[in-house]
Structures are given as structure tokens and as C-alpha cells.
Amino acid sequence: MSENKLMFYRGFPLIRSGNTIYYGSGGDDFAAKLTIKDTKKIADLDVPETIMVQLVPTRAGADVSKAKKGEFNGFYEALDVAHVWLNQALFG
């Protein structure tokens, strides 16, 4: 029997569906949505190059003025920005 395990980055779960990666918990007011817009080939791997990051509300009544959007080069930069935005939205 196979067991599904979530990957975590700095305390928040990462869930991938195709070219979209969700970062954060659905039980919180906000989560980050990372959309891979472009990849480059390195050896036999497709490596994300251009990523759209959106901080989106996950609950009714969340302060939508905290929602943000930006485009970044490289997965690490995009995920790092998503982490900062998510922390600011959830913890001030």
C-alpha cells in the first residue's frame, strides 16, 4: 500500500497539479499559487524558468487587499517570495 506524503517548505505544504503549485494550507485565509509559465531543458529535465506567483484568499471574508501577484525567474526566487507574502498576509 502506497502512502501519500506532502512536501513542506518552511512549514507550509506544497501541492502540485500539472504546472500549478499551491503553497500553504487551505485552512488559512491565504495561500500562494505558483504557475509555471515557461521551462528550460537541462539534461533530460524540464526546469521551471518563469513562474507567476499569486497570493490568493482561500476563505470568504479574507482581506482581499492583501492579495498580490508577480512574475519571477527561477523556482527558488518565486517560492521565496511566496513564503514572504504568505507570512505577511497570515501573521502581519
pLDDT at 1 (0 to 100)? 47
90 touches 61 (CB < 8 A): no
Read off the pLDDT of residues 21-74 as tens digits, 9 standing for 90 and up.
999 998 999 999 999 999 999 999 999 999 999 999 998 888 889 999 999 999
Tell me the residue type at 66.
Answer: K
DSSP string, 39-86: EEEETTEEEEEEEEEEEEE-STT--GGG-EEEEEESHHHHHHHHHHHH
pLDDT at 2 (0 to 100)? 52
pLDDT at 3 (0 to 100)? 60
12-17 and 45-57 beta bridge pairing: unpaired
pTM of the model: 0.89
Report the alpha-carbon distance of residue 15 to residue 75 in Å, rounded.
Answer: 14
Read off the pLDDT of residues 73-83 as tens digits, 9 standing for 90 and up.
999 999 999 99
